[in-house]
Structure 1
Amino acid sequence: MSLTIPKVEYMTRIAVGIFWNTFRLWLAHPTSITIQNLAILVKHDLKRLRNY
């Protein structure tokens, strides 16, 4: 058995991390996070995902 993490599992972990960070940000500043801000965050994180 190798110790490498399958790519899907790795990407799932990143996606969960992204979601969790966004959720925590929103809890901290519910009024300052708009749909537009979320879209920017998601776009930025998707760019990171594609680099893997």
Structure 2
Amino acid sequence: MLRVTKRTLWRMAKQDGFPLPVRFSRKTVRWRAAEIQQYIAALQCEPLP
């Protein structure tokens, strides 16, 4: 959905405003699709500096 590398995804996860992951086990982590879609929509609405 975001078309980024795992490393970039984890970097984004550390930022404020990015949805928190859901952990199923130590190695299995997922994000809720609806939360990612809301995050993308919010980015598109922000004005450029």
TM-score bracket relative to the smaller structure: 0.3 to 0.5
The structure where strand makes up a greater share of residues is: 2
Larger-gyration structure (1/2): 1
The structure where helix makes up a greater share of residues is: 1
Q: Under a length normalisation based on structure 2, what TM-score does the superposition of the two structures give?
A: 0.40
